[in-house]
Chains A and B, each alone.
Chain A
């Protein structure tokens, strides 16, 4: 079954509070994600921790991407082409768990977010579609 690509991509942009990692975002965030990937090596983590700004200057990222990394603004980083599995290298290097880092994107503090998860998580009701508001 061949899907219409334009309809497919339009649907991906129709989910509230979600940035699907499309090829457009992959292209926009290429160097941001490759920078994050470099933190998988212990020697790079050491250099990063010693001076984050100098480390970023070795990468051909946009200034907006660099300042969002320094601010650990993960929602903005998603908008600038970051992918969560790559960005995970940054927050793991900070010693944060997925729960701690992910909660920062929801407007809740960690305790509130944990409480929501223990109560069964966020319901899909009302956040399925921007157009359909369902």
Chain B
């Protein structure tokens, strides 16, 4: 049977992708951003930790979805997805290859579990999905595993509540564990942490709040799932709401998850960069 072997969360700042693609990772500004991923790169390359499939939770930033169609939860079910042209040409990263049979299985299971998923086939994937892949896997000719994209609307209000995201994570775990293939599966939550990209209040960072959020990923899921949207907005800036996507990962891993690694750095462009690796076993 398929099983969840790890949960990973990471910011997905577009400037990280540009720094990697332009070979700037060793510059003074960028080195402290990337150093915190060295542990994970080594860890994930060990055969016991390599995923067969990553279910990657991210949000589209006006790339695949314009204002015409705004799905709250969408799962990619095609065989492959190309990197999006976000205004400066597509990132020079590999095509994202899906395990489409598994993705369709998860979609069916989630719908029967009362999550009314949007199923999407033709879709380009933007920095929200490709930057975390680059951070964990570097610059390979092909990504070393299959990737199931799961896109969450966190752009147009209201996004799903933290509680709903957490419950979706638990339903994703049930879906994974009911798949009749021997697969090691990672669930990744991306985006965040505190940041605001708009208006006179742009540049907001709340390291104390972020660190407590990281702490409670292994200590207090009840608190995390009940954080209302307004708290994310007031405390972590208008784009800090992306952290509800981390709760999908947390819900899939469960309360007994153990922290293996953590990285936090300010600033990364306009953002507080956060990263954590969790094992489902306590």
Contact = CB atoms under 8 A, between A and B. Distances in A.
Interface size class of A (residues with CB under 8 A): 35 or more
Nearest to B156: A26
A8 B15 CA distance: 33
B205 A120 contact: yes
A107 B199 CA distance: 10
A12 interface: yes
Contact of A83 (B62, B88, B161, B200): B62
Contacts, number: 156
Contacts of B95: none
A66 interface: no
Residue among A21, A98, A127 with most chain B CB within 10 A:
A98
A102 B157 contact: no
Contacts of A109: none
A21 B272 contact: no
Interface stretch (B40-48, B178-186, B211-219, B227-235): B227-235
B12 to A, nearest CB: 13
Interface string A4-38: 00001001100111111111001001100110110
A11 B269 contact: no
Contact of B199 (A11, A12, A19, A23): A19
B266 A121 contact: yes
A116 interface: yes
A16 B198 contact: no
A40 B270 contact: no
